[in-house]
A and B are shown apart, each in its own frame.
Chain A
Amino acid sequence: MSTHTYKKFEDIETGGLPDKMTVFQDCLSTFNASPVDAKKSRSLIAKLLRLLYNGETFPRQEATTLFFSISKLFQHKDSSLRQIVYLAIKELAPISDDILMVTSSIMKDVQNGDVIYKPNAIRTLARILDGSTVHATERLMKTAIVDKHPSVSSAALVASYHLLDVSKDVVKRWTNETQEAVLAVKSYPQTGDRYANDSLITQYHALGLLYELRNHDKVALRKIIQQFSKNLRNPLASTQLIRYVNEILVNDHSLISAFFPLLQDWLTDRHHNINLEAIKVIVALPVTDEQFNAALQRLKFLIGSSKTVSRFAAVRILNRIALKSPERVMSLNSELESLITDPNRGIATYAITTLLKTGSSENIERLIKVISKFINDISDEFKIIIIEAIKTLSLKFPTNYQSMLTFLIEVLNDEGGFEFKNAIVEALFDMIHFVPQSRDLALENLCEFIEDCEFTELSVRILNVLGNEGPKTSNPTLYIRHIYNRVVLENSIIRSAAVIALSKFALINDVEVNKSIKILLRRIVNDSDDEVRDRAIISLKFLEGLDSNKEEVIQLTKPAYSYDLANLEHKLTSYLSKGQDGFITAFDITMVPKITEDELRVIELKQKTSKLDNAVKEPEHNNKHAKSADVKNPHFEESQNADLLKQQYVQELSAIAEFESYGPVLHTSSVVELTDKETEFVISAVKHVFKDHLVLQYNIENTLDDVLLELVSVIAQPEDEGFEEEFILSVDSLTPHGQGTVYVSMSRPSYLQTTNFTNTLSYTSKECDSKTLEALDDQGFEDEYPFEPLSLTPGDFIIPSMVGNFDLIYDEELQTESTATFQVESESIQEVVDQMVQQLNLFPIQGSMVVNDTTHLLKLFGKTIDAERVAAVIKFVHSARNGVTIKATVKVDGEESLAATILEGLV
């Protein structure tokens, strides 16, 4: 015995777990002994629970043995032992068999037990019962729910809540008792010198149960809210009720004004969790500005709270609002700024990312100054978050690149680990790539950075970028010196990268530079490392090939285009999946669309900004029981899917013999829905533009159950001249729920001509058997079905493109222009801008798609399918009286009619 107690003491000192088998054996012998030692038993059960709570588990048979021996302890009357016995039964029940045997002992305690363990008995009962035994407890449960003691009543309600999964029908029978319990004020009985405050949490449990019993009925839910909204005294119950209000309002916005007074009361409640819950509901609903501001005022109060959790919750909400409508939280910017230095990193991060979202070009400079003051005092991890935010910002406000670039360069020279430096270098790369004005300064600083960069990987990547971008700068020789220094001073990996970067400078048309590069490369040929030597030799060979104008060398060194990688990957995987038979024909690289460098940048920037936006967003929709978080970016997915769908259509099109002579597809529009989803025929269309032809592709789905369609065709009538219908590829038959595609081919004028097509579906319909799909009558009758017209817009002829020097092109190079002023009724400029960008299919330059003010300037650029440049400058003014007033100027390479046509597409 003495060794035992010694061992126990040691366990606690070291914190080690008790031995599983010893505990098992001790339990059996102690619980079966007579008389039972209450103290020893309780401490043994505590040991057993410690094992279970540490993740240890017992095989079913052993667990059942334990369960059985613990049930012996019911003989002992000590209430403190009984309480822990119930906990043990609760924890062992899921892993043991024959648990129903303790039912009668438990029921006895529920009826006549001491008040200290009676609630435990009730809660344990819910773990023991199965569907066939629940009904036997009905009377007991009902009595317990209306018990005067709050703990007994709560236990019964929570037990009933768990029993919902076992037998909801039985639990429904005590709806009346539950309803009564919501409003019953049960104070906790005071015993002796102990004093306990009332919590009235029973209201919360009763309300929660009542909701589950009634939730299928919206009318009943409204009744619950009306009945209890003024009478709840437990804050948890109130927050729960607010969630029910939200449930109603989310589904029916028209009720917001009716329920708002209630929400307003909750906003000013003295309990902050109630305020918080009400704020969360209000800001997510389409409320009026006044209502929104009421919530915002309370939010401001919580931001100023001395409690970390309140500040965290408040700034988290602000961050979420800022994602959708940054202008609504701008009034709290000064409060947010005070949170930047909050000791809780989460709060500071939310504050900064929110500020960066609500930021306009004016206050960003100041914000960056504030950040630079404290950036040295925080951890690398946090620094990275800030760098990421600045990166997003630099893409959004390219005009402010100066201050952001200075900031990045400053932090680049600070001390920091690899992750941190990597984030900065990434950000600089992005700026070089997408903000051309910043290129030279950024490159120069990167050059200096690699002078004493301790990370090989970073040096290699920087050298690569120097090689790609350096030759385009005004003073390339500067970089050659820096790069050649690397060749002299660094390890072989960096040297190899430097060789390639160096040789790229020889591609610029400068004989002097070309000559000196060759001299340098010849020197490197004697390097001690073979990889470096190899690269130098290959580069030299290429350069010589270039001098003698070899075709393949030119193609390899100066590619005019690259491939859409996502598409290439998709094509390659599908090629590989064909197996042996498919390999007989070689992979056809011409199937993959080629893209020029400018187009590539547009695509990359699009992906980048949508990715960044999403990275900041936390996945709020993650349900409690949702499977592992989907890390993929839904927007990105979506746009990629749309691209793949387009590719698929084009592929299908190219497989049709009739279109073979048309040449390549110059532009394919996205899918346009032309009917509602619920109509008899669901029709969508895609427009394909060829050099002299236009092909309209109509995807038709027959949604009827028992009608067979034959000879399905579409008659498309252009409103304007210039289009001649050539032929229609109709569908022979469409079975119920079948899908088919009709192609209408038109000749199109050589100039850019927009028009509308009025559409009619013509077909012969026959009734048919919905199962066998066989026609019931031979004749059928011919019918027509008109649907929404399809418009051919300027966007169908334009490919978005990016330029670095938009202003130069717009002001000086493009001469033909067309101007118009008009008004649009709309709440916000952003809405109009988004719509225009979509419609015209032009690329917004310098981040001008982000609207921050009541006036705005949008710059768009793109090329027509005939490779004519199109630039547009559009001014917006928003006023409450007139809506949005727009002045648009379109400038093009070609004729004035082209500019006019594009302009018309806007109106």
Chain B
Amino acid sequence: MSKNLSLHAIDALLIIDNEGNRVFGKYYNVSEESELYQLTNQRTFEKSLFKKTHKQNAEILIFENRLVLYKEILDITIYIISSLEENEITLSEILGSFEDALNSLLNFTIEKKTILENYDKVVIAIDELIDDGIILESESSIIKDRTSDTPVNEIPSLKNIDLSEKGLFNAFKFGAGKLAERFGNM
């Protein structure tokens, strides 16, 4: 039995909705010879995988010579796909961490709607979980902490006005720049 000696442990992470359509999909390290290189093949793979797992509650299976771990949550299913020789329990822990991180990022309602509404946070969390097939972080609280919040709109308010010496100097510089721009345009 050949062991996976490289750090590349994960072949794909997928989020599929309850009709078998992709909400998120990222295949790592697919070479051109791989059957999952072509998008159409990826779609067929996802459709048949979904058909096989939907409402089955099996958590883990071997599918088309790949090890698949998945979790069905309300109207979406999260899949982690790996090679056959990967450590099943490790993968299950990774999937669990991701779910935990999503739970705290999405206020304990993981569903298609909240994922799409917070797509920015979800993709950052995935990027903090897996970097090109390498498990980057397995601890959900760190993933959550590393995922920045959506920025709030900068509404001009008194709080935002910096009244320190440096702030005033900046304001002056900004005004001077704008003026120069205007003159330049004339």
Contact = CB atoms under 8 A, between A and B. Distances in A.
A199 B148 contact: no
Contact of A80 (B8, B29, B93, B148): B148
Interface stretch (A520-528, A592-600, A623-631, A785-793): A623-631
A754 interface: no
B90 A273 contact: yes
Contact of B148 (A15, A116, A277, A623): A116
Interface string B132-150: 1011111101101110111
Contacts of B157: none
Given A39-B153, A151-B142, A309-B59, A244 B89 contact: no
A622 B6 contact: no
B146 to A, nearest CB: 6
Taking each of B4, B35, B116, which has the highest tally of chain A beta carbons within 10 Å of its own beta carbon?
A: B116
Contact of A628 (B35, B89, B90): B35
B164 interface: no
Contacts of B62: 346, 618
B49 interface: no
B136 to A, nearest CB: 6
A476 B21 CA distance: 58
B2 A623 contact: yes
B120 A42 contact: yes
A43 B122 CA distance: 12
B124 A83 contact: yes
A208 B6 contact: yes
A272 B87 CA distance: 10
A34 to B, nearest CB: 10
B145 A308 contact: no
B57 interface: yes
Nearest to A625: B31
Contact of B139 (A54, A201, A272, A313): A201
A604 interface: no
B69 interface: yes
B58 to A, nearest CB: 5
Contacts of B65: 618-619, 622, 629
B5 A624 contact: no
A346 B150 CA distance: 42
Given A50-B119, A161-B134, A309-B60, A624 B4 contact: yes
Contact of A39 (B1, B35, B85, B150): B150
A312 B88 contact: yes
B173 interface: no
Interface in B51-74: 56-62, 65, 69
Nearest to A273: B89
A899 B90 CA distance: 61
B137 A154 contact: yes
Contacts of A123: 131
Contact of A197 (B31, B142, B150): B142
Nearest to B119: A46
A618 to B, nearest CB: 6
The residue in B8, B22, B131 that gathers the most chain A C-beta atoms within 10 A of its C-beta is B131
Nearest to B122: A46
A676 interface: no
A619 B17 CA distance: 30
Contacts of B131: 123, 158
B157 to A, nearest CB: 15
Interface string B80-120: 00011101111111000000000000000000110011011
A219 to B, nearest CB: 17
B45 to A, nearest CB: 12
Interface residues of A, number: 88
Interface string B11-44: 1000001000111111001010111000100110
A539 interface: no
A344 B112 contact: no
Given A212-B6, A273-B93, A197 B139 contact: yes
A197 B140 CA distance: 8
Most central of A46, A209, A345 by chain B CB within 10 Å: A46
Interface in A38-65: 38-39, 42-43, 45-47, 49-50, 53-55
A15 B134 contact: no
A116 B7 CA distance: 24
B154 interface: yes
A209 B141 CA distance: 25
Nearest to B61: A346
A15 B21 contact: yes
B152 interface: yes
A201 B136 CA distance: 8
A336 B150 CA distance: 50
Contacts of B119: 46-47, 49-50
B123 interface: yes
Contacts of A50: 24, 116, 119
Contact of B25 (A45, A47, A53, A211): A53
Contacts of B184: none
A4 B35 CA distance: 39
Interface in A147-196: 151, 154-155, 158, 161-162, 188, 191, 194-196
Contact of B60 (A37, A276, A346, A619): A346
A344 B60 contact: yes
B159 interface: no
A38 B152 CA distance: 8
Most buried by A among B11, B91, B93: B93
A343 interface: yes
A622 B89 contact: no
A37 B146 contact: no
Contacts of B117: 12
B116 A624 contact: no
A307 interface: yes
Nearest to B134: A158
A844 to B, nearest CB: 30
Contacts of A343: 57-58
Given A15-B112, A53-B25, A343-B57, A46 B123 contact: yes
Interface in A199-216: 199, 201, 204-205, 208-209, 211-212, 215
Given A55-B39, A155-B136, 19 more contacts: A12-B116, A12-B117, A15-B112, A39-B150, A54-B22, A78-B151, A80-B151, A84-B124, A116-B148, A196-B141, A204-B7, A215-B5, A273-B87, A280-B1, A309-B59, A309-B69, A310-B89, A624-B83, A628-B35
30 contacts: A15-B23, A38-B151, A39-B151, A39-B153, A46-B123, A49-B123, A53-B123, A55-B42, A79-B148, A83-B124, A87-B127, A158-B131, A158-B136, A162-B132, A199-B138, A199-B139, A201-B135, A204-B7, A205-B7, A208-B7, A209-B7, A309-B88, A309-B89, A310-B89, A313-B87, A619-B84, A621-B2, A625-B33, A627-B35, A628-B35
Smallest CB-CB A-B distances: 3 pairs? A199-B139, A80-B148, A46-B120
